[in-house]
Structure formats: structure tokens, C-alpha cells
Amino acid sequence: MLNKLQDIKKRYEFLSEKLMDSSVIADMGTWQKYSKEQADLTETVEKYEEYLACEREMTDAFAMAEEETDAEMKKMLLEEGYDCKERLATLQDELKILLLPKDKNDERSCILEVRAGTGGEEAALFAAELCRMYQNYCASHKLRVEEMDINTTELGGVKEAIYNIKGVGAYKLLKYESGVHRVQRVPATETQGRIHTSAATVAVLPEAEEVEVEINDKDIRIDIFHSGGAGGQNVNKVASAVRITHFPTGIVVTCQDERSQLKNKERAFKVLRSRVYDFYNGQNAKEREENRRSMVGSGDRSERIRTYNFPQSRVTDHRIGLSQYNLEVFMTGDIDSMVEALAIADREALLASEKE
């Protein structure tokens, strides 16, 4: 580990020199590339320098205690040395975490998809509540939510909703939400007070750039059709909805929320790129998962990850066995403590796999 940290420190110092080089400063693209790489290394280098300073203090304290003849001074020096030794152990753990492989998608914006599952209208109403929960959560983190497509029911439920969550770190904050969300409660339409179980699925996809995903014209079919749902005369007179089928993966994307066919097409391609990127990235992730067991699961959208029990005001995440009895507050978008617990569990799983 220490050899790796030394290499990182050397790289950091090399980048610092390059960023002051006039030829690099003149080339904005190269300067930005070096600047970003240096910024990514800064926290690790600073923590390593703190570790080295603490190690020197420990060595000096024990060396001075060895030569000290005054009993009181010797005791103080030994205490200082053991304090440094304890601090070194903590710093070492922190450095191990900083050296863990980072998710290359963490800083990206993302596509959030929410769909009603089993449970009919009650599932659609629950899906609508999840949409509001995530919108509030994103707002609290100053992320911009752009509605890309939504299919609603007459009672205000959501059959399917697609959002573009814009902002640095959006994927990092939402990536653990992918999976099946189950709700247990008495529906408003239930006359006998029986508890029903319904479900909704959530998918969080890192936003992909055009240069990262090549979509050939021969691999897709684009269909234009009339929008469904509310829209007045526009529904009947203007064919603005867009459906894109990607043959190699079987992925189908539909966008009909905008009145402009061009805008719907742009949005459909954005969602398609993210789904295709996730499709191939997910295949690689499955290969990696065979080499390690993740405590927070694979993020597979068929995996039941969480239960929302309204009678008990309980929300339980099954991946880490955590239950919280604050469901009313949770549904307003206050989900930070759950997200943090999942991130810690994932980190601990990574640390455990590094030791194997």
C-alpha cells in the first residue's frame, strides 16, 4: 500500500510541475486534463502526507524517550509516541478507503426511471409517490430534475416516468436506488381495511455521452406516432411521439412528453444512449461481481431492495438489513441516512474483497 501511495505522490508532484509549464498552460485541453487528474489525487496525497508526518513524530518521540533520563519527561514522550501509533492505524484505514477503486460513473448526471409494477392502480400511486420523493431528494442536493417522459393514470398515479437528473455526483447519490421497491399499506380504494402489497421498479442509469456509445443507423428503427394522454388537439393532429428500437440489445425507448417531434427524438436518443451504456457496462459489472460479493447487491432491477410498510411507519432496506421508523419523513425525500448507510456497506464490502 505504501509503495502505491508513494507512486501517487510522485504522479501528483509531476502534475504540479506540468500545470506550471507554459506549453501546457497554452493548451487548454491538456491543462484541464492534468488539472482534473491532480484534483482527483489531492485528498489521497494530503492524507498520505499526514500519515508520513505522524510516522515521523512517532519515531522521534520513541527515540527521545529512549535517551531521556527524567522519568516524567520519558513518560510524556512515550504517551506521545503511543498516541501517534494509534493515529497511524486510523490514518492507514482511511488511506485504504481512498485507494479503493472508484466508480467511474459517480460524478455523472443520470437517468432516473420509475415504473409501476404489480398492484394495479395502487402500484401506480406508489410510483407517483416515489417520483415526488426523488424530486425532493434531488432538490435538497441542488440537482436539476428534467422530466423527459411520463405516463400517468386518471387517479394521479404513474405508469412510467423518466427523468434526467442533472448535476455533478447525481449518479453517486442515486445509484443504490435501482431495484424493486415494495409497499405495504391499506389502499384508498380498499373498503375493508386490508393491507395490500404492491411494487414499483426504479432504474438509475449513468448519463452517457455520444462519444461513449456508438449507435449506428442500421441498428435502430425510429417510429413516429401520435401522442397518447392529455394534449388537446395536438394529440390528434400532430405525430410528435418517438419510439426508437435498438436491435442489438432489444432496448426500446419511447418519448412523447414534448409537443415537438425533434425534442422527443433528442430525449429518446439520450435515454437510449444511457440504457445501451448501462447494458454493456452492466455485463462487465456482472463479470466483476463474480469475483466479489457486494453487500448492497448488483443493482439489478429485478432484485427486491426495499419495503415501505405504512402501518408500522417502517422502511426496510433488505440489502443491508436496515430498518428505519420514519416513513412519513422518508417519503418527503429525507433519505440521506439510508443512502449513506448503503454507501458505507458497499465500501466495507470492497475493503473485505481487497483483503481476500
pLDDT at res. 166? 95
pLDDT digits over 280-318, tens only?
876 655 554 444 444 455 445 567 899 999 999 999 999
| 3-state SS class at 11 | helix
Map grid coordinates 402489497 to a residue: 197
Residues 31 and 25 sit within 8 Å (Cβ to Cβ): yes
Q: Are 254 and 228 in contact (CB under 8 A)?
A: no
The kind and range of the H/E element at 25 are: helix 22-26
Could you tell me which CATH number the domain at 110-350 has? 3.30.70.1660
pLDDT for the residue 211: 63
- What's the one-letter identity of residue 37? E
For residue 356, the model assigns a pLDDT of 56
- Pick the closest to residue 51 from 59, 62, 39 (CA basis): 59
**What is the predicted pLDDT for the residue at 246?**
94
The secondary structure element, H or E, covering residue 285 is: helix 261-289
Instruction: Give the residue ranges of the chain where pLDDT is below 70.
Output: 189, 191, 211, 227-238, 258, 282-302, 354-356
Give CA 321 to chain center in angstroms: 20
Query: What pLDDT score was predicted for residue 72?
Result: 93
Q: What is the DSSP string of 159-220?
A: EEEEEEEESTTHHHHHGGG-EEEEEEE--TT-SS---EEEEEEEEEEEPPPTTTS---GGGE
- Check residue 295 and give its pLDDT: 46
Q: Residue 293 corresponds to which amino acid?
A: R
Give the sign of the dihedral formed by CA 202, CA 208, CA 213, CA 218. Answer: positive
Per-residue pLDDT, 283 = 60
Domain extent listing, the chain:
2-98, 110-350
Q: Is 52 helix (H, G, I), strand (E, B) or coil?
A: helix
Q: What is the pLDDT of residue 237?
A: 55
DSSP symbol at 311: T
**First vs last C-alpha separation in the chain:** 15
Is pTM, for the whole model, over 0.85?
A: no
Cα 104 to chain center, whole Å? 11
Distance CA(99)–CA(1), nearest Å, equals 9
| pLDDT recorded at residue 238 | 60
Could you give the CA distance from residue 52 to residue 145 in angstroms, rounded to a whole number?
44
pLDDT of residue 267: 87
Give the model confidence (pLDDT) of 8-55 as tens digits.
999 999 999 999 999 999 999 899 999 989 998 999 999 999 999 999
Whole-number pLDDT of residue 208: 85
- Give the model's pLDDT for residue 354: 67
- pLDDT value for 191: 65
Q: Which of 159, 163, 161, 165 is nearest to 150 (CA)?
A: 161
Tell me how far apart the alpha carbons of residues 333 and 93 are, in angstroms, rounded to a whole number.
32
